[in-house]
Amino acid sequence: MNARPKKSFGQHFLHEKRYIERIVSSISPRDGDVVVEIGPGEGALTMPLLAAAKRMTAIELDTDLIPGLRERAAAVGELTVIHADVLKVDFTALARDLGVDKLRIAGNLPYYISSPILFHCVEHAPAIADMHFMLQKEVVDRMAAEPGSKVYGRLSVMLQLACKVVPLFNVPPGAFRPPPKVDSAVVRLVPLAPEQLPRVDGDAIYKVVKAAFAQRRKTLSNTLKGLIDEPTIRSLDIDPKARAETLSPSDFVRLAQTLARDD
């Protein structure tokens, strides 16, 4: 307990009880839920989650933390700790190995790789029932942003096309040891049902959204040059003189569908 937190692993351990309780009650794990925690650290969230779910899996990269976690968990429930980089964990295979269709994922994420973790989880969305993550507040704002907002961008579009994004509450730096330099927030992500998912090629949407937001101040006819021509943009009922930040996620889907057709 109380190991020296390692900066290189993005370790900021939660210690304020009321936030721990709020996160756990937002997740409301039930006996039989298959919960997977990313970055259990010293177990601030793990132990109350385990007490409710009885059995759970946690993925931790820092070997030094694992013996203590296992020891503390022994009296609480059945904890399986996977020593791995979460970005290398195949959640679809993990769900299969655990004998379920869908996992419930949770974690106070290491902020240095929060976006890659989000994209990694989205890739495995069909194997995930929901996700509850602590992130930098600024990242949660971007995830949930609507068209027209200054922080609406790639992350907003790509996540909103795959999940319902529900910001839950903010958490101040003082709730962590050591305190991070930024405010944090907890967000719930619920993957969309297959029938709600846009019918669009993954590579095409990635390409269009990336190009459109590469230079936020430029118009679509500029940023999409070489990918989609002006008349085609106009034929989709989208103004080629508009900027990416004014387009809805479904506008991007229509653009990507034309791109995929032309490929």
Residues that bind ligand SAM (CB under 6 A): 9-14, 38-42, 44-45, 59-62, 65, 85-87, 108, 110, 113
Judged by beta carbon, residue 118 or residue 157, the one nearer ligand SAM is 118
Which residue's Cβ has the minimum distance to ligand SAM? Answer: 39
Judged by beta carbon, residue 74 or residue 87, the one nearer ligand SAM is 87
Helix, strand and coil in the chain, % to nearest 5 = 45, 20, 35
Phi-psi category of 32—alpha, beta or left, where left has phi over 0 and alpha has psi -120 to 50? left
Q: How far is the CB of 15 from ligand SAM (least distance, A)?
A: 7
Judged by beta carbon, residue 3 or residue 214, the one nearer ligand SAM is 3
Judged by beta carbon, residue 97 or residue 146, the one nearer ligand SAM is 97
Q: How far is the CB of 168 from ligand SAM (least distance, A)?
A: 15
Which two structure tokens, joined as six digits, stand for 193? 């049902």
Tell me phi and psi for residue 148, to 5 degrees: 95, -20
Q: How far is the CB of 41 from ligand SAM (least distance, A)?
A: 3
Q: Which amino acid belongs to residue 252?
A: F
Instruction: Tell me which residue of 39, 38, 42, 40 sits closest to 2, measured CA to CA.
Output: 42
Q: How far is the CB of 124 from ligand SAM (least distance, A)?
A: 15
Instruction: Tell me which residue of 118, 55, 120, 60 sits closest to 91, measured CA to CA.
Output: 120
